[in-house]
Amino acid sequence: MASPRRNASHGEAARSDSSPTYTPATPRSRFAAEFSPEAFDEPGAGEAPSAKESVTATVRFRPLSSREIRQGEEIAWYADGETIVRSEHNPNIAYAYDRVFGPTTTTQQVYDVAAQHVVGGAMQGINGTIFAYGVTSSGKTHTMHGDQRSPGIIPLAVKDAFGIIQETLNREFLLRVSYLEIYNEVVNDLLNPAGKNLRIREDLQGTFVEGIKEEVVLSPTHVLSLIAAGEEHRHIGSTNFNLLSSRSHTIFTLTVESSPFCESNEGETVTFSQLNLIDLAGSESSRAETTGARRKEGSYINKSLLTLGTVISKLTDGKATHVPFRNSKLTRLLQSSLSGQGRVSLICTVTPASSNSEETHNTLKFAHRSKHIEIQALQNKIIDEKSLIKKYQSEIRQLREELEQLKRGIFTATPLKDVTEDNIILWKQKVILFLLSHLMLYGFVVFHFIYHA
Ligand SMILES: Nc1ncnc2c1ncn2[C@@H]1O[C@H](COP(=O)(O)OP(=O)(O)OP(=O)(O)O)[C@@H](O)[C@H]1O
């Protein structure tokens, strides 16, 4: 087995840029935006646009699996420093990315570089999309979902989002989630087993899935339990490359609304954004010996990933007049993310194994092309009537008033002759029951009291 060449210096990599595929890496500081409460004062949609950003493209190597080691697999591609991937067999073939993660990198390290700025942006009203792309068994689900020992980007993002809420004392947030899969070009709701074959619609704000269930969420544990329940419905199958292969693309969406925290929120603008966390199904190798249902799934997966590739090529081409977003459900749903607004992070997962060398090369070329899509990180602001947070805030105000009236009823009413100690206790219980029923009805109220009471 050939050993990977390790930690070659950046200078070394830069000297070999005679390769036609080499382009300089993007400095990290350009995209690693820190979260700051002042960021809410940035210009919003319709105002002066912010500087163009490009898609953050990173590559994550997984280690050789024990099966691959047993089979005597050799290393075909390796991380040459922090930003270059190089071919073991042809050192002139090298690609540069925003960051390359070697096989020992933890998902937390991947998160810090490839996801944190997108999650931070979403909490400030900037749409964000993070997706894992790669061939089957390259580590997409490991990266996006992870497990107890090594939580993936999705649980880390959820934890981060709630952490940001706790640190942002001057704003109120309302979070809701939805979770869907695209299986054989059919959109299914993973949070609602009855929600099958849902339609994709369009309005002025972009594409959306009609009738998808959205749950208001109150804590990281709440979100993770919803995801776990959703996972039960996801299509997973065994292929000869992966015992637990994802046979569908999944999109987990965290919708964030926030507004300044003050007694009367009348007239305050609400920021609104969506964070899409996507675990793509793996592109199927031509060597996969699949039959029946697996083969049908594989051809749908390959077709939609091919369309994604075409869309990305057209977007980076500059001269393309037509971008075929409508050719697959996946690209239709990603249309607004890819066509200009919000932050996008593409994490390409690859195996170093020589038996996958060809497919890995395709993934590397895809990631390299994606880096050239230009996007703008605009902050979305919405008008009051459309905002769920405004609706809940006004209900809280109304509840407060009703509570005041009830209190006044108990404590200022002239004592009647037949008012006993038992009657007063009964009245108090009624007040508590009244409050509890409203609290349960609107999780947001609980949220409000936890973070701002
Ligand atoms: N970075 C990593 N470190 C250690 N093990 C990894 C890493 N990435 C993936 N693995 C392991 O490799 C196997 C395949 O990974 P995973 O299921 O995430 O692949 P996938 O790309 O999602 O595949 P598919 O497209 O078939 O669903 C799993 O056993 C996983 O635990």
Instruction: Give the domain-ending residue among 365, 383, 401.
Output: 383
Nearest CA to ligand 1 atom 12: 139
- Angle (CA) 341 346 347, round 5°: 160
Same domain, 332 and 404: no
Asked if the structure places residue 257 within a domain, the reply is yes
Nearest CA to ligand 1 atom 11: 139
Instruction: Give the domain-ending residue among 362, 383, 404.
Output: 383
Same domain, 392 and 251: no
Cβ neighbours for 22, distance < 8 A, ≥ 6 positions apart: 16, 94, 95, 96
φ/ψ of 124, rounded to 5, equals -100, 5
For 73, other C-beta atoms within 10 Å of its C-beta total: 18
Q: Which of 107, 109, 110, 242 to mutate to test the pocket of ligand 1 (most atoms within 8 A of CB)?
A: 242
Does the interface predicted TM-score (ipTM) exceed 0.90? yes
Same domain, 394 and 309: no
Q: Band of the pLDDT at 372, cuts 50, 70, 90?
A: confident
- Reported as type and span, the H/E element at residue 226 is helix 220-231
404 compared with 254, residue with greater pLDDT: 254
* Mean pLDDT in residue range 258-286: 77
Residues 63-96 pLDDT 10s = 999 988 999 999 999 999 999 999 999 989 999 9
Same domain, 334 and 438: no
Cα 365 to middle of ligand 1, angstroms: 21
Same domain, 329 and 268: yes
Instruction: Give the domain-ending residue among 323, 354, 383.
Output: 383
CATH number of the domain that residue 293 is part of? 3.40.850.10
pLDDT of 224 > 60? The answer is yes
- Reported as type and span, the H/E element at residue 296 is helix 292-317
Same domain, 376 and 395: no
Cα 245 to middle of ligand 1, angstroms: 9
Which domain, by its residues, includes 276? 10-383
Asked if the structure places residue 5 within a domain, the reply is no
Asked if the structure places residue 229 within a domain, the reply is yes
Nearest CA to ligand 1 atom 3: 62
227 compared with 372, residue with greater pLDDT: 227
Same domain, 424 and 294: no
CB under 6 Å to ligand 1: residues?
62-63, 65, 134, 136-142, 242, 244-246, 281-282, 349
pLDDT of 188 > 90? The answer is yes
Asked if residue 246 lies in contact with residue 139, where contact means CB atoms within 8 angstroms, the answer is: no
What would the DSSP string read from start to end of 202-214?
Answer: EETTEEEETT---
| Mean of all residue pLDDT scores within the chain | 76
Q: Which residues pair with 128 in a beta bridge?
A: 275, 343
What percent of the chain has a predicted confidence (pLDDT) above 70? 68
Same domain, 66 and 21: yes
Cα 453 to middle of ligand 1, angstroms: 43
Binding site, annotated residues for ATP: 134-141
With residues binned 3-state (H G I as helix, E B as strand, rest as coil), the percentages for the chain, rounded to 5, are: 40, 25, 35
Q: Band of the pLDDT at 393, cuts 50, 70, 90?
A: confident
Same domain, 305 and 318: yes
Asked if the structure places residue 438 within a domain, the reply is yes
Nearest CA to ligand 1 atom 5: 62
Binding site, annotated residues: 134-141
> What is the DSSP pairing of strand 128-133 with strand 343-350?
parallel
Nearest CA to ligand 1 atom 23: 137
Asked if the structure places residue 52 within a domain, the reply is yes
Residues 306-340 pLDDT 10s = 888 888 878 777 777 788 899 999 999 988 777 76
Asked if the structure places residue 72 within a domain, the reply is yes
Same domain, 337 and 396: no
Q: Band of the pLDDT at 200, cuts 50, 70, 90?
A: very high
pLDDT of 140 > 60? The answer is yes
Asked if the structure places residue 189 within a domain, the reply is yes
Asked if the structure places residue 3 within a domain, the reply is no
Same domain, 392 and 379: no
* Mean pLDDT in residue range 358-387: 76
37 compared with 146, residue with greater pLDDT: 146
pLDDT of 292 > 50? The answer is yes
Q: Which of 69, 105, 141 to mutate to test the pocket of ligand 1 (most atoms within 8 A of CB)?
A: 141
Number of domains, the chain:
2
Cα 138 to middle of ligand 1, angstroms: 5
For residue 249, the SS3 value is: strand
